[in-house]
Structure 1
Amino acid sequence: MEKLSVPTLAREEMLDLTAALRDAVRSHGWNDGILTVFSPHTTCGLTVNEGFDPDVPRDMLAFFKSRIPQDWGFRHAEGNSDAHIKASLMGSSVQLIVEGGEIQLGTWQAVWFLEADGPRRRQLWLKWIGA
């Protein structure tokens, strides 16, 4: 298992991880197989979505904030229940097909990391299964 460090700068943000994951695949010489990317954090999520238009991640964050506000009156003592819900809706992992040493994504797709309780230094776990 490999680990990828992800520093975040705001309480809520979405970071495009596509280039970092492509670099990891190339640097390890992974050719054909499946790359699983997993977040071991209960207030972070992962997804594959549009990577071309910067309004897409902004819209996603705005939607989450409007539907799941931090000050809704949750009972969880840490004050970050909204972050747990957002991360659960997003999911904690993605699986990516790698062929010919390249991550296979659609024309407009990117791999996104959701930080919902930052800023922090996060880690993602990368597990390679070669074909």
Structure 2
Amino acid sequence: MLKTINLRTKSHTDFIDITGLINQAISESKVDSGICIVYVPHTTAGVFINENADPDVVYDVKNHLEKLVPWMNNYKHMEGNAAAHIKSILTGNSINIIIENGRLLLGTWQGVFFAEFDGPRNRKVYIKILRG
């Protein structure tokens, strides 16, 4: 089963917890055990797993990525969003997660985040659910 999630990001850098949306897609698929592939088809966005219990973690990740890859630097890319491309490479654009008992097999504090680095924009996330 393939499901598309449409998102509208609100700011230049925006992290959206999509764990619930993915679990909803798994529930609709009726797959009890398998693999969930989450893929972001954008070169200035990404997807990652990290703590979703404390919002300070997301704040710290955003701030550290900005220090690591500042928006304005001596980049050659003409569109002015080279930093967004680099951050996308760092986070990656796909993850695979085990499905067990009809839910993502995540750690207690883990969630799945969509990462926007060149917003605000309309974005897509593809979810492919494979029965195992």
Answer whether TM exceeds 0.5 for this pair.
yes
**Residue 28 of structure 1, CA deviation:** 2.0
Deviations, residues 53-105 of structure 1 (Å, cap 9, x unaligned): 10111100000111211111211010000000000000111111111111110
Q: TM-score of the superposition, structure 1-length normalised?
A: 0.96
3-state DSSP of counterpart to 2:64? helix
Kindly indicate whether the alpha-carbon contact (under 8 Å) linking 2:14 and 2:117 is maintained by their aligned counterparts in 1.
yes
3-state DSSP of counterpart to 1:26? helix
Higher mean alpha-carbon deviation, 1-10 vs 113-122, is at: 1-10
Q: Which runs of 4+ in 1 moved over 3 A?
A: none
Q: What is the match of residue 72 of structure 2? A: 71
For the pair 1:95 / 2:108, whether they are aligned, the reply is no
3-state DSSP of counterpart to 2:59? helix
Q: How does 1:46-125 map to 2 (within 5 A)?
A: 46-125=47-126
Deviations, residues 95-118 of structure 1 (Å, cap 9, x unaligned): 111111111100000001110001
3-state DSSP of counterpart to 1:89? helix
> How many residues end up aligned between the 2 structures?
131
- How far apart are the structure 2 equivalents of 1:28 and 1:78? 40
3-state DSSP of counterpart to 1:83? helix
Q: What is the match of residue 21 of structure 1? A: 22
Deviations, residues 26-65 of structure 1 (Å, cap 9, x unaligned): 1221221000000000001111111111011110000011
The percent identity for this pair of structures is: 37
Cα RMSD of the aligned pairs, angstroms, is 0.8
Unaligned runs of 5+ in 1: none
3-state DSSP of counterpart to 1:78? coil
Unaligned runs of 5+ in 2: none
3-state DSSP of counterpart to 2:54? coil
Kindly indicate whether the alpha-carbon contact (under 8 Å) linking 2:29 and 2:129 is maintained by their aligned counterparts in 1.
no
